[in-house]
Structure 1
Amino acid sequence: MTFRQFAFNNVIRNKRLYAAYFLTSLFTVMVFFTFSIFAFHPVLSGENMNGYVSIGMNVASGIIYVFSFFFVLYSMSSFLQSRKKEFGLLMIQGMSMKQIRLMVFLENMFIGFFATLGGIVGGLVFAKGILLIAENVLIIDDELPFYFPNQAILLTFGSFIVLFFLISLFVSYILRSRKLINLIKGDKQSKGEPKANLFLTLSAVLLLGTGYTIALLVEGLEVVAALLPVVLLVIIGTYLLFTQLSVFVIRRLKKQEQFFWHKTNMILLSDLSFRMKDNARTFFLVAIISTVAFCAIGSLYGFQSYLTAGTKEQTPYTITYTDAENGGEANASLIEETLEAEQLEADGERIELRYYEKSDQSLVLIAKQSDYNRFAALLSQETIHVSDGSPVLIRTGLILFEDEHAGSSEAEVLENAALELKGGSKLEPNQLVESDVLPGSAGNYYYVVSDHDFENLPVPSSEQSYYAWQERNGESISVEASEKLDQEVTGGFITNVSYQEYILNKIYGPILFVGLFIGIVFFVSAGSFLYFRLYSDVDEDKRKFQAITKMGLTEKELKKVLNRQTLILFFAPILVALIHGAVALTALSHLFFYNLFIESVTVLSLFTAIQIVYFFIVRFYYTKQVKAALQ
């Protein structure tokens, strides 16, 4: 048997440990290859797309490639840590450290070569389906036909062969200084009782508490200013949480004799403090990576929801037209003809929007009650009654972060809403109404007065004709008709809510598509880190439970201990990441003054469900391995 065959067979014999490393590497290659297919696709890289989709895919590929380097490097280092005793035995048999380094180099190159080929083949198999999904997500006008991606194959194969080659060299290099005695002893060397520093433990609580408090209390643009300090506080606090606070809590539980001696708690807690201390860096890395995945996808999804909601609130009608150059009647007729051609049943209204100059020289819209109620009826909203001398203040649309009155009570808003027009007229509203009936003016506010008071107002500074149509059955104009209207209507401003959403999704689709893929890669990689750490200790667990079983541990108790231990080790970093993600998404909602609760719950629940499925799969095989060693 040649040395190459020996290295290859060594990979096959360790397939249980290498499986997750191989499959995750294959998945990473496949995702990178998928983005390369998009980047080089003739349609996406053509002039009609302006290159922004192709650029986005290339950027995403670069991010995944850089992350893949560190992921594969960490995975190999973690895997080699569990093979120290094996290397020591090989050295006793006469293998030199140089030969061990060569063996590790060849093993990693074998896995890298087949993971790269597997990722490319998998990408080709699913390419057509992914392209069909992308047609809908990216919202492009042309189809994305399948093509044989020669450039993508060459780029992917070359990039990842170089990546695995460099990592193989690096991993081989770090093995050079291993001593035989350390390799033979391996995990038998005493680690000592894990202890926590009280100052660092309290620092963990203080840092996380401070970071969370700041993130939850700041609003508006203060969120952006607090971003960097909060991130630093939470990252340092998370590291101390796993290295100090977790050990402190376990030691305190061990001192509670009634709890410690209850059934199998002694076995669980005695080993858990060592496991938490040994895996602290892994848990910290998994928590941060998972938090990045949660925040990236949650932010993208939430921002899309925010923009869509803002579009709907600011444009509640099926279609509106604001005349700017006295061509309103002709354009209004064209819009009505289009609605008839689309066989849409729509009711329409017209109003002359009058803007008055305030004492500070800014303009404000003032409408009369009858006009407001006509448009309110068009939207099937409540009409209002305005008494003479008692105007109503209307707050319109989505409350943006630059609104100085956002978050203020109705009394506070009305207190500052007294209006003095140029010329001496004064308006003092005594009622605040949330409404999107009329487009309003700067500051998201306008005034409605009684018809009698409206006639006594001074001459307005400017006027605009405003037309609105509302479809009775909630249907919308087709994209083709909307594009035609957008081209033919001149001398004014036309808004079509369905077309605006279409344009928004067309622009935002590639960003969401790229962010979703990158988030999934990060999350899958985080789960793989946990898999590596769990299985790197499986041999030690086998010996430990063999000894405990001889002392009378039943199979039911063994299963209970394994389930609880695996559950804690698997979900401790995920739970921390979920809390981090929830706080971060709450802070994002404060930035825009828009409730992202549904979006946050959707994203966090989806990832939690994926992790639960992953946990059950890993736990099944892990428990099976331990039980097999006891028979």
Structure 2
Amino acid sequence: MTFRQFAFNNVFRNKRLYVAYFLSSVFTVMVFFTFLNFAFHPGLNGEGIHPSVTKGMSVAGGIIYVFSFFFILYSMSSFLQSRKKEFGVLMIQGMSNQQIRWMVFLENMVIGFFATVIGIALGLVFSKAILLIAENVLVLDGSLSFYFPMKALIVTFISFMILFFFISIFVTFVLRTKKLVKLIKGDKIGKSEPKASIWLTVIAVLLVGSGYAIALYVKGPAVAFALFPVVTLVIIGTYFLFTQLNVYVVRKLKESERLFWKKTNMLLFSDLSYRMKDNARAFFMVAIISTVAFSAIGTLVGLNSYLTSGLKSAHPISFVYTAEEAEENNNEINKIEQTLDQYDLTYDKAEIELNYYNQNEDSILITTAETYNAFARITGEKEIDLKDTQVAVVEQSSGNMLVPQANLENSFITLEDGTNANVDKNLLGIAKPNVLPEVMHYYIVGDHIYEQLSSPEHTKKVIGWQVQNGDKDKLIAAGQKVSKEFPGIMAIDHAVHDINKMWSPIMFVGLFIGIVFFVSAGSFLYFRLYTDLDDDKEKFMAISKIGLTTKEMNSVIGKQITLLFFAPIIVAIIHGAVALTALSHMFGYNLFTESAIVLGSFFVIQVVYFIIVRYFYTKQVRLAVE
């Protein structure tokens, strides 16, 4: 048997040893191929697709590929870590370091080739389902019909064969076979009790706490400037959190005799500090990667909600036509109404004039309650009533959230004779900001005050049509038609449709990246868990001989796996919640619902993953004990 045959047979005769690394590689290839199948689809590369979507998918493809490299590299390193004893046996039989490296290279290329082929095959099997899901999720004019993705197939195969080749070279280059006694004994060599520095523990809490405080304190555009220092503080603090604080907490728990001697807690805490120390880096990586996934998906969902819901809130009237001059264009108005009639849309109509005045070297809208009430009636808002000398200020619209809100309680307007009319503080909030089509703050005054204003700088003629029997498809179609013909019209349903059309592919791509990150994080935990499988088998086999029941063993293993899985995930969820709260502060828009959906969905997925892994892990330990 040649050396190549030995390496090839070594893979196929030790399926259980190689299966975790192989399956993780298959999954990575399948996700990348599925993404390319979606990205290269003719329906997403033709007319009507915004150029930013194509660029975004190219960038996302690069991110997935680069992350795949590091994910497979980490999987490979964890896989090699579990083979220390095997390398020791081979060295006893006369295999040199160079031969072990060459064997690892050949094995990795074999695994890489079959993982790539099977990953592409699985991607082809599920490609139609993915396209159907995408077609229902995305806002597209056409359909995503099935096609044979030859380009995606070729690019995926070549890309991952290159990836596995460089990973194989890198691993064989850095592979260091330790002394024979260490390879044979493996983890049986004694370890000293892990210690935690009280100062580093305090620093961990202060770093994470200060990062949270800054993120939650800043508002508006300042959030973007605070991003780098907050991320730096939280990342460093998270590292110390897992390397110091976890160990410190476990030691304190062990010192509590009441807790330590309760039931099977002694078994749980006996090596928990060792596991916390050994898994600290894995915990750190999982927490950061999961936080990135939560934040990325949450940001995309939040921005989509902000753009659509915010736009709808700022423009509650179905169709608003604005002429910069007060002169009516009856021809255009008649054509708009003919289009609405063509689509069988019934509506309430209101016509107003908006006058803008020079106030403190700024052009500001000043209008009357009668004008405000004309649009309030067709939008269903409460009408207002002002006395002749009253002045009310209307806060800026939610459609302009990035502009800082001005404090106008003590403001005033200047009349033609030079006197000032102060804002009535008792009228704050009496009028809704989104009734009139003005995103900045404006004033509503009594009739007597209005008559004393100087001549307006300019006047707008505004007509609103509030559709009462709005079928969504008809509203979008009518909006598309009138928007092409008349630049001065705002058709809110068509505008929201255009945003969704451009944003939904980005959302879908972001979902891909988030899934890759999150599943990779779960796989990191999986590899760390199964690295300790043989040790757990030996430990519970020994303890079972002195009376440990199967139920007690399952309880101890369940608690250990729970800590392993959920310690980093809970930290990541808290990080993600703070990040999404900061995002909501940046836009001045409540993202609680969107954040809860994203974080809750990922948590449910992690629970399902945990239940599956716990079942099979416990089963293997139980079979070894029995």
Matched-pair contact (CA < 8 Å) for 1:135–1:143: yes
Matched-pair contact (CA < 8 Å) for 1:20–1:528: no
Cα drift, residue 50 of structure 1 = 5.5
Matched-pair contact (CA < 8 Å) for 1:260–1:266: yes
Matched-pair contact (CA < 8 Å) for 1:314–1:396: no
Q: TM-score, structure 2 length as denominator?
A: 0.95
User: What is the SS of the residue equivalent to 2:44?
Assistant: coil
Q: Which moved more, 1:568-577 or 1:12-21?
A: 12-21
1:273-312 correspondence runs (5 A): 273-312=273-312
Matched-pair contact (CA < 8 Å) for 1:372–1:437: no
Instruction: Show the counterpart of 2:341.
Output: 340
Instruction: Show the counterpart of 1:356.
Output: 357
Q: Would you say 1:612 and 2:607 are equivalent positions?
A: yes
Cα drift, residue 328 of structure 1 = 3.0
The residue type paired with residue 297 of structure 1 is I
Cα drift, residue 340 of structure 1 = 1.2
The residue type paired with residue 466 of structure 1 is V
Of 559, 569, 582, which residue of structure 2 is paired with 1:564?
Answer: 559
The residue type paired with residue 520 of structure 1 is I
Instruction: Show the counterpart of 1:97.
Output: 97
Instruction: Show the counterpart of 1:515.
Output: 510
User: What is the SS of the residue equivalent to 1:192?
Assistant: coil
Instruction: Show the counterpart of 2:428.
Output: 432
Q: Would you say 1:540 and 2:530 are equivalent positions?
A: no
Q: Deviations over 1:540-568 (max 9, x none)?
A: 00001111111221111111101101100
- Cα distance between partner residues in 1 of 2:56 and 2:3: 44
Matched-pair contact (CA < 8 Å) for 1:559–1:623: yes
Matched-pair contact (CA < 8 Å) for 2:388–2:448: yes
- Change in 2 beyond 3 A, CA 1:404/1:604: same
The residue type paired with residue 320 of structure 2 is T
1:490-501 correspondence runs (5 A): 493-501=488-496
Instruction: Show the counterpart of 2:444.
Output: 448
Cα drift, residue 58 of structure 1 = 2.0
Cα drift, residue 484 of structure 1 = 1.8
Q: Which moved more, 1:417-426 or 1:192-201?
A: 417-426
The residue type paired with residue 332 of structure 2 is N
Instruction: Show the counterpart of 2:141.
Output: 141
Instruction: Show the counterpart of 1:409.
Output: none
Of 573, 591, 595, which residue of structure 2 is paired with 1:600?
Answer: 595
Cα drift, residue 143 of structure 1 = 2.7
Of 542, 547, 550, which residue of structure 2 is paired with 1:552?
Answer: 547
Q: Would you say 1:115 and 2:105 are equivalent positions?
A: no
- Change in 2 beyond 3 A, CA 1:536/1:586: same
The residue type paired with residue 625 of structure 2 is L
Cα drift, residue 327 of structure 1 = 4.9
Matched-pair contact (CA < 8 Å) for 2:101–2:175: yes
- Change in 2 beyond 3 A, CA 1:544/1:437: closer
Instruction: Show the counterpart of 2:458.
Output: 462
Q: Would you say 1:506 and 2:507 are equivalent positions?
A: no
The residue type paired with residue 153 of structure 1 is L
Instruction: Show the counterpart of 2:10.
Output: 10
- Cα distance between partner residues in 2 of 1:558 and 1:254: 19
- Change in 2 beyond 3 A, CA 1:451/1:316: same
- Change in 2 beyond 3 A, CA 1:218/1:14: farther
Cα drift, residue 19 of structure 1 = 2.9
Matched-pair contact (CA < 8 Å) for 1:349–1:374: yes
Instruction: Show the counterpart of 1:82.
Output: 82
- Cα distance between partner residues in 1 of 2:207 and 2:555: 35
Matched-pair contact (CA < 8 Å) for 1:396–1:440: no
Cα drift, residue 5 of structure 1 = 4.3
User: What is the SS of the residue equivalent to 2:337?
Assistant: helix
User: Which stretches in structure 1 are left out of the alignment for 5+ residues?
Assistant: 407-411
Moved over 6 A (4+): none
- Cα distance between partner residues in 2 of 1:374 and 1:336: 19
Cα drift, residue 483 of structure 1 = 2.1
- Cα distance between partner residues in 1 of 2:207 and 2:17: 37
Cα drift, residue 197 of structure 1 = 1.2
Q: Which moved more, 1:348-357 or 1:40-49?
A: 40-49
User: What is the SS of the residue equivalent to 1:49?
Assistant: coil
- Cα distance between partner residues in 2 of 1:20 and 1:425: 81
Matched-pair contact (CA < 8 Å) for 1:78–1:533: yes
- Change in 2 beyond 3 A, CA 1:257/1:400: farther
User: What is the SS of the residue equivalent to 1:366?
Assistant: strand
Instruction: Show the counterpart of 1:243.
Output: 243
Cα drift, residue 342 of structure 1 = 1.0
Q: Deviations over 1:290-339 (max 9, x none)?
A: 00000000011101111112211111001110013545322221121111
User: What is the SS of the residue equivalent to 2:428?
Assistant: strand
Cα drift, residue 56 of structure 1 = 2.4
- Cα distance between partner residues in 2 of 1:596 and 1:7: 54
Q: Would you say 1:377 and 2:342 are equivalent positions?
A: no
- Change in 2 beyond 3 A, CA 1:330/1:437: farther
Aligned length: 621
- Change in 2 beyond 3 A, CA 1:385/1:82: same
Cα drift, residue 513 of structure 1 = 1.4
- Cα distance between partner residues in 1 of 2:173 and 2:396: 65
- Cα distance between partner residues in 2 of 1:404 and 1:227: 19
Of 622, 625, 630, which residue of structure 1 is paired with 2:625?
Answer: 630
Of 418, 425, 446, which residue of structure 1 is paired with 2:412?
Answer: 418
The residue type paired with residue 259 of structure 1 is L
User: Which stretches in structure 2 are left out of the alignment for 5+ residues?
Assistant: none
The residue type paired with residue 601 of structure 1 is A
Matched-pair contact (CA < 8 Å) for 2:397–2:434: no
Q: Deviations over 1:148-174 (max 9, x none)?
A: 222221111011011111111221222
Q: Which moved more, 1:231-240 or 1:42-51?
A: 42-51
User: What is the SS of the residue equivalent to 1:322?
Assistant: strand
Cα drift, residue 425 of structure 1 = 4.7
Cα drift, residue 400 of structure 1 = 4.5
- Change in 2 beyond 3 A, CA 1:356/1:425: farther
- Cα distance between partner residues in 2 of 1:602 and 1:49: 28
1:122-271 correspondence runs (5 A): 122-271=122-271
Matched-pair contact (CA < 8 Å) for 2:392–2:423: yes
Instruction: Show the counterpart of 1:58.
Output: 58
Matched-pair contact (CA < 8 Å) for 2:537–2:621: yes
Q: Deviations over 1:562-602 (max 9, x none)?
A: 11011001111111100100111111111111111111100
Cα drift, residue 282 of structure 1 = 0.6
